Structure 1
């Protein structure tokens, strides 16, 4: 079935066991759901857990942020506090989005034998495969992925880049540059909201990297039995996600219910990660999210993670502390690399399992 084999080179951040390609499973037998992908009853998506409306999800205008609009900045503040999540429009990257989606689709259209040339190494999370597979008996998600470090260019491991696809590298280059620009605008405004200078959060990241996870979710004959991605929060500072414009699959946990995120054409989804929750001492909340599947057609998405330098500490900022009103609830001295390795060594099982590692004991 095309189980992805690996070699022994890699980043050393973590690893994920080789598993069959879900895309190939569906190609060979679209009606059969292998038992390893059938989620336990308590982990499946249920209609009773779904919020019927998603109209309240915040929408932030990047053009207004970039022009110093104070009302838009306050909307950003509220979105990060109450939702941990928002969609951004008027970001000026529409053309790069289109090229990025086309390049990703071209990769997953390759024959399996070609995709296997970019398989993850045995101690690496970069490359083609599936993430967070840590045991031979855990339930698997209904997706395949390609994970690449996209910037800075000096951190790229080009052996994982499918350069056999014409225009692939150029599309990723252009998209990565546009995402950096949008990322910096968001971090600039968050710095001001956190009582710091404009460039504070960008500098705080140290040797910042961007990692991109390209996701392929095949259609599924029984979407009620599987999940495209299990519930989790992101172990980075912020994530910028490019959704499929026509399929609603992303869901976020808000006030105890799963809220479907209806795509807005050419919008980019942004969510707060665990790192920013720690830096803000819990003022801004990382968001638990998951993806479901559908019967009709496959879906692709691309998530760009903003990754701090290895030695960066996840201490709450002084401006986020107040002995009376906001005492510290997160530890000092936890290095990012240690937190990253901790999260990558576990299967995805919600937010709490990760964030508790960073918190002070009650």
Structure 2
């Protein structure tokens, strides 16, 4: 297939497949993926923090109500906006979920095109950046709304793949359990009833995104996933365990996160920053490409209902901590605002829209 042939059948956005680009020419990187010199992964920005400094939370202890582990969660969210969880009970579902993602991306392009992302909709197969004139990330993706079950749009699910639906549903169910436990502990840390944050979401939605990152001959020129913050309350990232590619911003430096086998990374998003009145900051993060081999990333986004209010919670506001974020904004208002941004750098400043401007 020629590189410039569009995905889809006329109703879908004309987006290239990076996977197909690499298959046809693995030695060159097309111009549309090459970042400007001032917006590339830069080794001088890297902080080689010892691996044991990045917070790790024993989920099994957290679920048992262990106070020390909950205090570790508080420190992780306040100082890092990030942690990895171990002993979470998702271990059996992880290899099946990874296999489901691999099976999808192993399909011929003609089959993947059947699930192509429409121009004005977020689900399906394609790429993250839909604007033709913007630089693109070195990856392809499949985005599915996986929870609640009644919200699933199976036209974007490759149900012909044996076991795909069962593997994704199992993983989504396990991640929903983990989500409720994390939200419950954060509620307690914020001086609230255990179910408060869960109920504040309204109907808790879960989006599952499978990213395929091809190997790249010039990883210094591209981003596998460009720097950004998530528009969610919290997000879960399942990395490949043998390549360090995820980087988080800490103390104004980029910190590589070495994967722990079977661990799941958790990060704070924009919504939680507003609810916590800035105590827990939304985390800038990015993914770098590598020359060695392709890899996968599976992200579970925890998404409030459209009507959920993003006001700072009363327990997070007092005389010493006045409200820093606006009252009355709903999640859908914020989400629509984020879609109006024009430049790569704007991905960092969406949260400013929620702040009270002095």
TM bracket (short chain): over 0.9
Aligned partner of residue 76 in structure 1, secondary structure: helix
Provide the rounded CA distance (Å) in 1 between the counterparts of 2:9 and 2:207.
Answer: 20
Provide the rounded CA distance (Å) in 2 between the counterparts of 1:61 and 1:3.
Answer: 45
Aligned partner of residue 187 in structure 2, secondary structure: helix
TM alignment of 1:309-348, pairs within 5 A = 309-322=305-318, 324-346=319-341, 348=344
Matched, 1:82 2:79: yes
CA offsets, 1:117-162, max 9 Å, x none?
A: 000112101100011323x221111000000000111111110000
TM alignment of 1:1-362, pairs within 5 A = 1=3, 2-5=5-8, 17-55=13-51, 56-134=53-131, 136-322=132-318, 324-346=319-341, 348-349=344-345, 352-362=348-358
Report the alpha carbon displacement of residue 3 of structure 1 after superposing the two structures with TM. Answer: 2.2
Provide the rounded CA distance (Å) in 1 between the counterparts of 2:95 and 2:156.
Answer: 22
Match of 1:12 in 2: none
Task: Tell me: CA distance 1:350–1:302, structure 2 relative to 1, closer, same or farther (3 Å).
Answer: farther
CA contact 1:54–1:262 (8 Å) conserved in 2: no
Report the alpha carbon displacement of residue 18 of structure 1 after superposing the two structures with TM. Answer: 3.3
Match of 1:13 in 2: none
CA contact 1:132–1:344 (8 Å) conserved in 2: no
Task: Tell me: CA distance 1:291–1:121, structure 2 relative to 1, closer, same or farther (3 Å).
Answer: same
Q: RMSD between aligned alpha carbons? A: 1.3
Provide the rounded CA distance (Å) in 2 between the counterparts of 1:160 and 1:112.
Answer: 15
**Matched positions, count:** 353
Task: Tell me: CA distance 1:242–1:6, structure 2 relative to 1, closer, same or farther (3 Å).
Answer: farther
**Range 348-357 or range 69-78, more displaced:** 348-357
Provide the rounded CA distance (Å) in 1 between the counterparts of 2:352 and 2:49.
Answer: 30
CA contact 2:104–2:112 (8 Å) conserved in 1: yes
Provide the rounded CA distance (Å) in 2 between the counterparts of 1:70 and 1:171.
Answer: 34
- Which ranges of 4 or more aligned residues in structure 1 deviate by more than 4 Å? 6-9
Q: Which has the higher contact order (CA 8 A, sep 6+)?
A: 1
Aligned partner of residue 199 in structure 2, secondary structure: helix
Provide the rounded CA distance (Å) in 2 between the counterparts of 1:343 and 1:291.
Answer: 21
Provide the rounded CA distance (Å) in 1 between the counterparts of 2:285 and 2:98.
Answer: 22
Segments of structure 1 that go 5 or more residues without pairing to the other structure are: 10-16
CA contact 2:8–2:114 (8 Å) conserved in 1: no
